[in-house]
């Protein structure tokens, strides 16, 4: 594209960094066929992205066979994920998809046998307030990138509970129980191996409660995948 054409695009449709709002080069002014981080984040903000994490945690709970977390919940992700979830910023969707694609090629995730992909559901009230379920978006992207398939809503949240983000670690563990979730169609999950997706794992209580409900509904295996995981300084995940 000519300098004149690139300048005209930037004038008509200026792009800014999703984090610091500094102006970016317009993506059409560069020869890029696929979406890239450069289209959404400036160089300084890209440097603040945490490194790829992807620990595989086995024997985390009796309900989950293993847990994969793609990034540590630190740096720029501590700012981007809440803005995406709570501020209704649709422009974050392609960025999250790029972050998923960066790490889902890792062999240990691909070696996990999965029949169905699903997500931790929101309560009806939370879904009406946000207009989307960020965990389902992660599940849908994971299903497509790993298996060329689709994610299915296998659970519904039947108990209205306080948002986990508003609670401390002890209260988080007590906030959600297995009966907080209900399997939509038990026949669809009987004997199946399920990957349960969410955005951020802190104590794991939400994932554990949802996995217990899936197992009670007939699933033979439940693993979990989260975009990020909170790791305390006192106990690093290995």
Three-class SS of 119-170: ECCCCHHHHHHHCCCHHHHHHHHHHHHHHCCCECCCEEECCCCCCHHHCCHH
Interatomic CA distance for residues 151 and 189, integer angstroms: 13
Report pLDDT for 12: 54
Q: Which structure tokens are listed for 142?
A: 């994971």
pLDDT band at 111 (very low <50, low <70, confident <90, very high): confident
Interatomic CA distance for residues 1 and 195, integer angstroms: 43
Predicted model pTM: 0.83
User: Does residue 29 have a pLDDT over 80?
Assistant: no
Report pLDDT for 71: 96
Highest mean predicted confidence (pLDDT) among 85-89, 122-126, 162-166, 197-201? 197-201
Is 117:142 a contact under the CB 8 Å cutoff?
yes
Largest CA distance in the chain: 62
Burial class (CB in 10 A: 0-12, 13-18, 19+), 132: middle
Report pLDDT for 163: 58
Averaged pLDDT, 158-186? 67
User: Does residue 147 have a pLDDT over 60?
Assistant: yes
Token match 């540590």: residue?
Answer: 72
């Amino acid at each position: 594209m000519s300098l004149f054409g690139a300048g005209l695009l930037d004038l008509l449709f200026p792009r800014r960094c999703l984090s610091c709002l500094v102006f970016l080069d317009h993506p059409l002014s560069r020869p890029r066929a696929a979406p890239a981080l450069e289209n959404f984040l400036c160089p300084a903000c890209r440097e603040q992205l945490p490194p790829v994490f992807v620990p595989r945690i086995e024997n985390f709970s009796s309900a989950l066979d293993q847990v994969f977390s793609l990034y540590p919940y630190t740096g720029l992700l501590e700012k981007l994920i809440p803005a995406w979830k709570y501020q209704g910023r649709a422009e974050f969707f392609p960025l999250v998809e790029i972050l998923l694609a960066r790490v889902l090629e890792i062999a240990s995730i691909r070696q996990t046998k999965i029949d169905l992909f699903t997500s931790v559901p929101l309560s009806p009230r939370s879904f009406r307030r946000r207009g989307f379920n960020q965990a389902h978006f992660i599940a849908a992207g994971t299903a497509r990138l790993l298996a060329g398939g689709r994610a299915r809503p296998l659970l519904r949240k039947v108990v209205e509970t306080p948002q986990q983000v508003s609670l401390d670690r002890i209260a988080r563990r007590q906030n959600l129980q297995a009966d907080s979730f209900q399997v939509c169609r038990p026949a669809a999950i009987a004997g199946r191996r399920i990957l349960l997706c969410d955005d951020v794992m802190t104590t794991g209580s939400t994932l554990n409660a949802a996995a217990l409900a899936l197992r009670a509904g007939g699933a033979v295996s439940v693993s979990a995948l989260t975009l990020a995981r909170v790791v305390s300084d006192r106990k690093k995940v290995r």
